[in-house]
Amino acid sequence: MYIIIVGDGKVGYTLAKHLSQEGNDVTVIDKNPEALKRAMDNLDVMCIRGNGTSIGVLQQAEVNNADVMIAVTNSDERNSLCCLAAKKLGAKYTIARIRDPEYAEELSILKKELEIDMVINPEKEAATEIAQLIKFPSVSSIESFAGGKVDLVSFRLGENDAIINKPISSINFKKCSVLFCAVERNNKVLIPTGDFVLQGNDKVYVIGDHLNITLFLQYLGKYQERVKNIMVVGGGRICYYLAKLIDKIGTKIKIIEKNYDKCQELNELLPKAIIINGDGTEEELLESENLNEADAFIALTDRDEENIISSLFALNSDVHNVITKITRVNYNNIVKKVGVESVISPKMITANRIIRFVRGLKNKEGSFIENLYKIVGEKAEALEFSANETTKCIDIPLKDIKVKKGVLVAAIVRDHNIIIPGGNDFIKSGDSVIIITEIGNLMDINDILLEGGRKI
């Protein structure tokens, strides 16, 4: 597919990287020569210097041949105008990043009037993901499938956990219907089988419905009650959306923001929140605001370094649920080494959504991609497909299907029922099928099958 990306900031660069790696022809448009030089030096993409709202620049990029035009500049208005111009000039599909809370309330009108096929709000998506993490305070990540019926959670195993040094098949799950989908060990991804032996410090990914995940965490002694008091450092858009979400469930939120004008604005927008004007990287301030009494600490400033520092203070105060926003990928390993397990990356959330959309366009006739998440430090993917009459392995027991190495059928959702599959289970047309894989660029359930698809 031919894809044009307008805006070569953090999100634009991440999109260009992943979409070009998946075999798409990508052209990047930006006014900043340094940003374009970085893309030219490191990625297999074409670059054009100019304003993405300019008809001449779009024509130079041959927008009339574009399958998808993605506008991710730092201006909502410019993104909307780019999409409108691109559609009028012949682009098949357009995607816009819209971040302003005022516009967020009018997305359906924007999409219709400007003919935008997909609108994404990274901050709102990040807030939703944080709200999900609050649902399971003891896990480091949570991804939802099948309309929220199925959860994929990850957490770190301790040296004294009851299930380490045992094959997975020998673990007594206490009637919990869950499945170990992936294990991160020494920065490598492993797709476990029944004879796989878990070790201390493994980061494990487990899938099941909400009730069974809860029962399993209780069995491990890792379950925590719902978060009641949250402390947030950084009063930006993610904080605003998060406060709106958690207000509905009665959780109390205290926001520390060093910009006085923003504090006044938040005070008007969020009357139930406690707003503190101060620097969240000052340990004395955090202690004076009773950091040690917080059930969760969330660092959401615009600077990764400040988020890491304030998160360290929270960890040292024995706050068990610490969530940190990180925008620079090269900081991920540093964050892990200092003990922060829950990391939120708005640009990766955005990239995952758009990659799912693009793969879905490539595969219109096959099984549609409902969800896509990059997991285990982007080394693996969790995908949800809708099986249909084009799926080759329909009504065949899973034990009789030949699948590629590094692929696991993790769950099947049928008529609102969740099936953690065994060898005798099978896929039916209309099922939602959740797959964990080390293989990149899967677009269809059929892509997991070896030639022939069925064991002999």
Q: What is the pLDDT of residues 254-296, one digit of tens each?
A: 999 999 999 999 999 999 999 999 999 999 999 999 999 999 9
In 298-422, alpha helices (H): 304-316, 332-337, 346-362
* Domains recognised in the chain with CATH numbers: 2-120 (3.40.50.720), 126-220 (3.30.70.1450), 229-344 (3.40.50.720), 359-454 (3.30.70.1450)
What pLDDT was estimated at residue 176? Answer: 84
Q: Which residues, 6 or more positions from 262, have their beta carbon under 8 angstroms from its beta carbon?
A: 235
What pLDDT was estimated at residue 230? Answer: 94
The encoded tokens of residue 261 equal 């004008």
Q: Which of 91-95, 224-228, 417-421, 426-430 has the lowest mean pLDDT?
A: 224-228
Q: Which residues, 6 or more positions from 320, have their beta carbon under 8 angstroms from its beta carbon?
A: 137, 138, 224
Q: What does pLDDT average to over the chain?
A: 90
pTM of the model: 0.85
What pLDDT was estimated at residue 456? Answer: 35
Q: Which residues, 6 or more positions from 110, have their beta carbon under 8 angstroms from its beta carbon?
A: 80, 96, 98, 103, 116, 119
Give the whole-angstrom CA distance, residue 392 versus residue 88: 39
For residue 95, pLDDT over 70 is answered with: yes
Confidence of residue 455 (pLDDT cuts 50, 70, 90): very low
For residue 330, pLDDT over 80 is answered with: no
Confidence of residue 224 (pLDDT cuts 50, 70, 90): confident
What pLDDT was estimated at residue 104? Answer: 62
3-state secondary structure at position 196: coil
For residue 452, pLDDT over 80 is answered with: no
For residue 226, pLDDT over 80 is answered with: no
Ranked by mean pLDDT, the top range of 90-104, 255-269, 356-370 is: 255-269
